[in-house]
Amino acid sequence: MTDQPEPSERLKAELLDLALEAATRAGTFLREGRPDDLGVAATKSSAIDVVTEMDIAAEKLITGLLTDRRPDDGLLGEEGASVESRSGVEWVIDPIDGTVNYLYGLPSWAISIAARKDGETLVGVVHAPMREEMFRAVLGGGAFLNDRPAHVRPAPELGLALVSTGFGYLTERKVQQAEVARRLIPEVRDIRRGGSAAIDLCDVAAGRLDAYYERGLNPWDYAAGDLIAREAGALTGGRPGEPISPALTIAAPPGLFERLQARLDDLGAWHD
């Protein structure tokens, strides 16, 4: 068995340019296509139906562009896109990360697009149109917010850390997550709940948060943001000794990461 060759810089640049184009197009579509009265639609179901339609349409816009340009690549999307890769490259897509924020007209929603080859994420793009922010990273090339390099904050003591988290949709999971947060909040500076995992990971990368953790994410929620956070200097992972996964996602600078990870493990943040 031989080692896989290193991805070429040319390939990474091509994937980044395509991800940026797809995210920009989807961002324009979602921003301009959102009805002004969406948050006060006549019924709950009608508003959610509109968001679902926008979500699906945005994913089709993204996957259509990717397939047109690179027809042999695989696709994995939140809204059902699933195509096996013939090139070794797979795109992992969340057309609207933060759909409830989008529904209510809050600005913290984003398009998340990652490209990975042979299981390794090479490119990550998170576009937050209402914040006029484009986060991007290439493996080994650092992270950027718009055109400025992004860097994590120096690690504070756990008691001075501003930590973000999120909550699932199932009541049983929310109850456990709330209990973890209740026990953690006296031990940190404060806790935030932004509503978009992709943006939270990027805000760690940009030094706006000290740390982020959440249980129950899917690969399309964290694929791009994970790379961006790591390229900005963060450590990411799940339970001690385990990688980032749907069971638990943690991102923080070295020094804080280890302490937060150990405490979350003690608190049972990895199970319902």
Report the relative pairing of strands 74-77 and 89-97 from DSSP bridges.
parallel
Q: How confident is the model at residue 266 (pLDDT cuts 50, 70, 90)?
A: very high
pLDDT digits (tens, 9 = 90+) for 119-174: 999 999 999 999 999 999 999 999 999 999 999 999 999 999 999 999 998 999 99
Mean pLDDT throughout 57-70?
97
Burial 197-227 (b: 16+ CB within 10 A, else e): bbbbbbbbbbbbbbbbbbbbbebbbbbbbbb
Mean pLDDT throughout 244-259?
98
Q: How confident is the model at residue 73 (pLDDT cuts 50, 70, 90)?
A: very high
- The total number of residues written for the chain in this structure: 272
pLDDT value for 42: 43
Q: How confident is the model at residue 102 (pLDDT cuts 50, 70, 90)?
A: very high
Across the chain, mean pLDDT equals 94
Burial 74-89 (b: 16+ CB within 10 A, else e): bbbbbbebebebeeeb
67 residue type, one letter: T
Q: Does domain 9-149 have CATH number 3.30.540.10?
A: yes
Residue 45's contacts (CB-CB under 8 Å, 6 or more residues apart) are: none
Report in angstroms the alpha-carbon separations of 240 from 13, 195, 219. Answer: 33, 25, 19
Q: Domain spans of the chain?
A: 9-149, 158-267
163: β partners: 191, 211
pLDDT digits (tens, 9 = 90+) for 23-35: 999 999 999 999 8
Q: How confident is the model at residue 2 (pLDDT cuts 50, 70, 90)?
A: very low
Same CATH fold, 158-267 and 9-149?
no
Rounded Cα distance between 185 and 174, Å, is 16
Read off the tokens for 196: 């978009």
State the Rg of the chain over Cα: 18
Q: Which CATH architecture has domain 158-267?
A: 3-Layer(aba) Sandwich (3.40)
* Residue 41: pLDDT over 70: no
Percent of the chain clearing pLDDT 90 (strictly above): 87
21 residue type, one letter: E
More confident residue, 48 or 137: 137
